[in-house]
Amino acid sequence: MPPQGDQSLSRRLYDADKRIESARLYGDVATYQYYYVDLLVGSPVPQRTSVIADTGSTLCAFPCTGCKMCGHHLDANFDFQKSKTAEWVKCSRRGCDTCRMNYCAYSQSYTEGSSIEGYRFTDYVQLGDEFQENPPVRVQLGCHSRETRLFVTQKANGIFGLAPAKERMPTILVDVFKDKAHVNAAVFAMCLSSQGGLLTVGGFNESLNTAGVQWIALGLHGFYSVAVSKMVVEGPGGSELSGGFGRTIVDSGTTYTYLPDGLYRQLKSSVQTYCKEHNGCGARGTGSTCWTVPGGALSSFPPIRVVFQKGASVNWYPSSYLYRRSSGDLYCLGFESNGAARETAGCLRRDKCSNGGLGFRV
């Protein structure tokens, strides 16, 4: 993979003492428009495949050789015949959603209109790349026989569903958590920075949370949800948005943060008003949601404090809620309207993986 962001993330290895696995995340908001992780699949020679880290879905799947309705991606399609440990999942196994010719199949559609379908199999998988030295564990995966729309054109090979398991269907997280010899607890953490990030399984990396971790309640409804009570645009002349956030879905597969339309308009207006009253935030407005910022100096923009129920809060800094479009000095808002939906969805991207974080407890 091409180097991106903080190279120290690439050197984080499996922590055998704490039983925490680490895997480098690649991608960004502007170019890739998603974050992905490498997996090493099969034996005796593992094959690398790249998959989008998505806390909004449960299936981990990617194209296999012979797929005539799949796109061209970063890595070669997985060759089932080259893995001596790969086994197709028969319909007699528990957790088979669809049966075709006595083999477990899947067909999955996504919100933006794309879809995948194929057959389920089991094999050994290591999270991340070879240098991260994570132990292999047998998990259930999907082998695409068909892709549509964005799945055809995306650079990453497939999808890495990290959402809670549904109706006893196995997920890769559930399978990894069962590996008690190598994984300390049923906990995973993600840091999404401006360029790449880090995924940990079995715990979280304390060195990446210099301000400490605040724990808040987590809802499980087939996805992860939290309760936001308000957003505060900090600084002189700032403003507060409260109520109406609805159920807030934590979804790493959603590129931007989506707010109910009324709250989106208020937040956008609050940032614009703040800049008008503070020397344009040292930038020149370009359209309704972008600014030309000389040298990328964003420090004059206000931080936004996101407050959760029972008081926990995190700062959403301008280097996180603004993203650089292309390679110039144009920066645009990283939050958008969710239309008529009364829900908030997305993830709070960080500038660097070195600030405080949130932990979610069921």
Catalytic residues: 54, 251
Q: Could you tell me the end-to-end alpha-carbon distance of the chain, in angstroms, rounded to an integer?
A: 35
CA dist 348 and 250 (Å) reads 9
Asked whether the beta carbons of 348 and 314 are under 8 A apart, the reply is yes
- Give yes or no for a contact between 158 and 49, defined as CB atoms under 8 angstroms apart: yes
- Distance CA(231)–CA(241), nearest Å, equals 5
C-alpha pair distances (Å), 260 with each of 82, 255, 345: 48, 16, 9
Helices H, strands E: what count in the chain? Answer: 4, 28
Nearest residue to 251 via CA among 72, 112, 61: 112
* Distance separating alpha carbons of residues 176 and 334, to the nearest angstrom: 32
- Look at strands 47-54 and 197-201 and give their pairing: unpaired
